[in-house]
Amino acid sequence: MIDSIETDLKTALRSGDKDKVLVLKGVKSSLINERIKLGHDLDEEEAAKVLKSEAKQRQEAADIYRSGGAQDKADKELAEKTIIEVYLPQMMSEEEVSKIVDEVIAEVGKDSSKTGIIIGQVMARAKGIADGRQVAEAVKSKLQ
């Protein structure tokens, strides 16, 4: 993932794609900062976490711009988010998430007071390739 970002950054620089260069430089900077913070080279899961955070920031900014009536700025943020999402691993399907939720509920017990514990265990087993909102919704629907 990190290597492909570096390669694509070089390609974008050569082709003159200023928007992609700007986004990839920002992402690369965030990855370097995280590597320094952790004190070791990032593995794929850690790098994906940084990229998810970057994508989420773009989505939140787009939502704020849209609510403020600045659709052009919202579109720019969403375009940046699209560039970032190319490097994220494929997210789990609803069926895969549902299967993990069923396994965890079978182990922990079907108790709505343990919702947070169940969500946490599902997210740990999903290893960063499940959407937290999707997991929470699946857990809540199965505990009802």
Domain that holds residue 101: 94-143
| Segment 83-94, tens digit of pLDDT | 999 998 888 888
* pTM of full prediction above 0.75: no
Nearest to 61 by CA among 83, 76, 82, 47: 76
Q: Are 78 and 57 in contact (CB under 8 A)?
A: no
Q: Are 39 and 125 in contact (CB under 8 A)?
A: no
Q: Are 33 and 41 in contact (CB under 8 A)?
A: no
Question: Could you tell me if 99 and 81 lie in one domain?
Answer: no
Query: In a 3-state reduction of DSSP, which class is residue 29?
Result: helix
Residue count of the chain: 144
Question: Could you tell me if 55 and 123 lie in one domain?
Answer: no
Q: What is the CATH number of the domain that holds 117?
A: 1.10.10
Q: Are 129 and 89 in contact (CB under 8 A)?
A: yes
| Segment 41-60, tens digit of pLDDT | 998 888 988 998 999 999 99
pLDDT in tens, the chain (144 residues): 788 999 999 999 999 999 999 999 999 999 999 999 999 999 888 898 899 899 999 999 999 999 999 999 999 999 999 999 999 888 888 889 999 999 999 998 888 888 889 998 999 888 778 878 888 899 998 888
Q: Are 101 and 135 in contact (CB under 8 A)?
A: yes
Number of domains in the chain: 2
Query: In a 3-state reduction of DSSP, which class is residue 86?
Result: coil
